Amino acid sequence: MSEKKQIIINCGISHVSVGVFAHEGDGIVLEQVGLETLRYDYSSEELWLEYFIQGLENLCKREGIKGDARFIFPGSLLLTKTIRVPHVEEEKQKKIVAFELMQKMPVPLTELIWDYQVIDDDGVEQEILAFAVKPKVAEDFCERVMEIGLTPVQITPAPVLDYNAMRASGIGLDSGETLVVNVGAKSTNLLFINPTGFLIRPISMGGNSLTQNISDNLGAQFEKSEEVKKNYFSGAVAFSADDPSVQTLEKCSKQFLARLSQEITRSVVTYKRLKQGKSPSKMFLAGRGALLNQLPEFLSQSQRLDIDYFDPLQAITLSDQVSQEMRNLLPFMLSEPVGLAASIFPQPGSETSILTKTINLLPASKLTNLNFKRKQPLLLVSAAILALIPLPEVILGLGASSELNQQVVEIERTAKTLDNELEGLESKNDTLQFLQYLNTQVRVRNEPFEVQAKTCWNLQNLLNLLQSALEHENVTDTWFDEFKLLNPTEALGRGGASRNNALAIPVLRLSGRYLVRPTVDPKTESQGDLRDNLIQLNSAKQTALTNYLSELTMIKEVRKKTFQTKDKGDLFNRYFTYFEFEIILN
């Protein structure tokens, strides 16, 4: 593809977009643009590539896109490191950067595809931002996109492109510190811009964090919660005011806003420490996640900054072919593609002349294949001339070739039939696995209710048996003050059992009082004889009550018993005794 027209594909976590940019005169024109939403569980990283390729294939067929393309990778697929190195000549710089990165990267640098750029330079030290990707990730990605008719010529990280888009838009950035908050699906990118360069701070929370919170609170699957979130916050579906889901959605939204604001505040404090007290004086919002209701107002109040949405369309011109529906979405999805286009088509004499270089994480093998592809037309012409030399033999072999072609057609037809049958079986297998999973979840959720039902009937039987104690001839004049099933912590604290046993053993605390009626006349007997009589009767009643409880079928063991004739009891004055039992139930 010529330098004056470039295909740029933004590989988002929740969507994929394609834009065709052209260089006309001194400006950049967006000739064509398309968007495809990816529908899958965004919390499962291993699903992204498969659903991305499906979405990209549908988008390319719909928009008629093919040929050389530049791809923007999301930050979640990359390793990112920021280091400081001495200011040296450019030829020495890469060796110093490589040495420093070897100490910082979690895997050996030789096992990564990496590149870097200078993001700040004070003349003494340079701040370096490096990106790396595992070769398998990049190679698998390239192979899959080449299958649908696209040839990757560049893979560049998304986080740095907002800086180029801001510079290209003509917004004055040299008068102070500026903060750009790009809210994505999986992460939020904070871009601090100052007169000498910029600094990037990623936050590991984005639109998916809000979706996961909604999923947890509503008890719905992630994909369903994502749909509810989009419908509610976009206003696409009107929710009733008394719908309980509305309160849940608003609560989750406030929690998300508060957490995001806290993370931004923490990053601003870190930035001020690095920049010796300098802090942002204005803030811009970007990304589709920035469309969340009340986000600008909340951040403006919490950060005490002037906030505006960043409009990357200020740096380009839109073609008449771009629909009005897409024009409304472009300001929130086009900042990274515009940043890449601005670095491809720099405008001399404007602020874009200080744009950073673009990083390329394309595997070396793919670059070699690309160079070969560019020489392919010449090689094909040469091969055609050489092929004419054995022309007579070729003519004789045409008959055999035709027969082989028919066999190939038959084999392909059979293979297609088998593929269709396999797809049907895979669909049935997915349904079966889902039903098995559903049955398991239903059984697990119902088990507590079954146990609770049995426990309720057991408690009723136990209460009936304890009620009978009040009528037993040896324990009459008895009443119960407390009937309490101890929780696991109380049971563990009072008993000598291990933690695991305490959690499994049901323990009942039963306390009350019983009356001891003296068998002698208190008015005629001496105080000593009266006390001896009460002590004898009290001991007998203790034994009778303990034996009665121990013999109940639902009581396994009376683990602890306490009797008090003073304080809680008053045996020698008002003739009653306090008792407390800890009982292990059967």
Q: Indicate the SS3 state at residue 443.
A: helix
Which CATH code, of 3.30.420.40, 3.90.180.10, 3.40.50.2000, 3.40.1190.20, is assigned to 1-74+132-171+311-389?
3.30.420.40
Residue tagged 């001891």 (tokens): 516
**CB of 68 closer than 8 Å to CB of 1:** yes
How far is Cα 582 from Cα 442, in angstroms, rounded to an integer?
Answer: 36
Structure token digits, residue 508 = 């009942």
The pLDDT value recorded for residue 51 is: 92
The pLDDT value recorded for residue 396 is: 63
Length, in residues, of the chain: 586
Low-confidence ranges of the chain (pLDDT < 50): 1-2, 352-353, 374, 496, 499-500, 502-503
The pLDDT value recorded for residue 352 is: 47
Residue tagged 């009936």 (tokens): 464
How far is Cα 57 from Cα 40, in angstroms, rounded to an integer?
Answer: 16
How far is residue 116 from each of residues 120, 165, 575, measured CA to CA in Å? 12, 19, 90
Structure token digits, residue 166 = 């801001």
How far is Cα 178 from Cα 180, in angstroms, rounded to an integer?
Answer: 7
**CB of 317 closer than 8 Å to CB of 29:** yes
How far is Cα 25 from Cα 23, in angstroms, rounded to an integer?
Answer: 7
The pLDDT value recorded for residue 383 is: 63
Q: Give per-residue pLDDT as tens, 182-206.
A: 998 888 999 888 887 888 888 888 8
Matching CATH topology for 172-309 and 470-585? no
Contacts of 533 (CB under 8 A, 6+ apart): 518, 519, 520, 525
**Strand pairing report for 507-515 and 150-157:** unpaired
**CB of 268 closer than 8 Å to CB of 164:** no
Would you give the DSSP letter of residue 422?
A: H
**Assessment of whether the complete model's pTM goes beyond 0.75:** no
* CATH class of segment(s) 470-585: alpha beta
**Strand pairing report for 178-183 and 282-286:** parallel
How far is Cα 553 from Cα 195, in angstroms, rounded to an integer?
Answer: 84
The pLDDT value recorded for residue 291 is: 81
How far is Cα 421 from Cα 225, in angstroms, rounded to an integer?
Answer: 33
The pLDDT value recorded for residue 70 is: 94
**CB of 23 closer than 8 Å to CB of 207:** no
Mark 100-125 as b/e (b = at least 16 C-beta within 10 Å): bbeeebeeebeebbbbbebbbeeeee
The pLDDT value recorded for residue 25 is: 78
Going from N- to C-terminal start, the domains of the chain cover 1-74+132-171+311-389, 172-309, 391-445, 470-585
**What does the DSSP assignment read for 188-213?**
EEEEEEETTEEEEEEES-SHHHHHHH
* CATH class of segment(s) 172-309: alpha beta
Q: What is the dihedral of CA 322, 323, 329, 332, to 10 degrees?
A: 10
